[in-house]
Amino acid sequence: MTDLRRILIVDDSRMVRTSLSRHLAGVYEIREEENGESAWQSLVLDHSIEAVISDLQMPVLDGFGLLERVRSCKLKRLREIPFVLISGDDDTDVMERAERMGVSDFINKGVSAAELKTRLGNLLQFVDTWQSLEEARTTQTQDPNSGLFTRRYIELQTAQALSHAFRRNTTVSLIIIGFDRYSEMVEQLGEHKASEISLRFAQQVASKVRREDSLGHFLPGCFAIVSPDTSPESCVVFADRLRRAVADAVIVSGGKRLNLTMSIGIASVPGDKVTAAGTLIDLAYERMESVVAAGGNGTKYGIIDPAATVSPLNIEQALKLLRARRPEAVLQQLEQLYEHLLPLLTLLQDELGVNLQLDELHKKLQQRDQGH
């Protein structure tokens, strides 16, 4: 066994293969093939090959044919493998065609050992750097530009919250929030401006969710919230508040007011009979998409069990929830809490000689509940 990186040299000339192999001896491990077809088989089967040096003119399958197969392959490792073509002349048309097909570099058959090693080393270094960045992106928990959690982290948090819910027999809810007609917004305002508006919204939402909730990116113009120990009823109240706030917001761009609306999908366990995090996420997203298909500006959720009634709150409990930044639970019972507070409010009104418009306040609360 060797620790050297493996290079595939493809040429129908044994002399050329031998010459290139000598240039790279001691630095790389070499595998040789005499035509594109046999080279293709080697690439598919031999996962240790990290770069290809191929002649252009060959029998059975030429260099262009091999390059085309590699760049259109379903295997990511082959689509991204460094591919160097051996060119016998400076034919501009040939080089332009190869560049369009995704060639990495060109060499001629008289290339020196030093130049070949340098070019190949640079290509492999570039691949290593790119792979390191890709790995960093998949493992990072927060987007460096927005400060929000990444989609990968949201998926992990969903799995963790779901596992906890099953062990403790508690609830976990997932909310997917998306701007309606986001692609049109991008077309109208440009990608940067549209992203800026959606990010500004997400940052506002971040200030309203609990510490134990996780808010992150899902898709462009689309965000997800993982909310442990939160019922779907509470999520619906929270979602509708968000929708109304966005629809009523005055957002101006280029001197024109933007009419923005949102579609929201909610999935919860144990209400929705799913056992996998991916299924829960897909269900919430499908519900959001169905709202979009119906015209947008709505919230869709699963069947809420009427037996799962919410315990009535007293004033002290409501104040504790507000201090814990959980207004959604309080909002569900505003009218009942108002009834508890009414004697105190009436006393204040009479004692101070002011009109608190209690009748109007009660009317507004009734209209609000009817609107739900």
Q: What is the DSSP letter of 312?
A: P
Of 279, 296, 337, 297, nearest to 313 by C-alpha is: 337
Q: What's the pLDDT score for residue 138?
A: 55
Q: How far apart are alpha carbons 244 and 372 in whole angstroms?
A: 12
Q: What's the pLDDT score for residue 332?
A: 67
Q: Is there a contact between 284 and 176 (Cβ–Cβ < 8 Å)? A: yes
Q: What's the pLDDT score for residue 307?
A: 43
Q: How far apart are alpha carbons 184 and 28 in whole angstroms?
A: 51
Distance of CA 76 to the CA centre of its chain: 19
Q: What's the pLDDT score for residue 308?
A: 42
Query: pLDDT tens, position by position, for the chain (372 residues)?
Result: 568 999 999 999 999 999 999 999 999 999 999 999 999 999 999 999 999 999 999 999 999 999 999 999 988 899 999 999 998 666 778 888 898 999 999 998 888 999 999 989 999 988 888 777 666 555 567 777 777 888 888 888 898 888 888 877 888 999 999 999 888 888 888 888 888 888 888 888 888 888 889 999 899 899 999 999 888 888 888 888 888 888 887 777 777 778 889 999 999 998 898 888 889 999 999 999 999 999 999 999 986 644 444 456 778 777 877 776 667 667 767 777 877 788 888 888 888 888 888 888 877 877 765 544
Set out the domains of the chain in order of their start, with CATH numbers: 5-139 (3.40.50.2300), 151-300 (3.30.70.270), 315-371 (no CATH)
User: Whole-model pTM?
Assistant: 0.50
Q: What's the pLDDT score for residue 189?
A: 85
In sequence order, the 6+-apart residues with CB closer than 8 A to the CB of 2 are 29
Q: What's the pLDDT score for residue 304?
A: 60
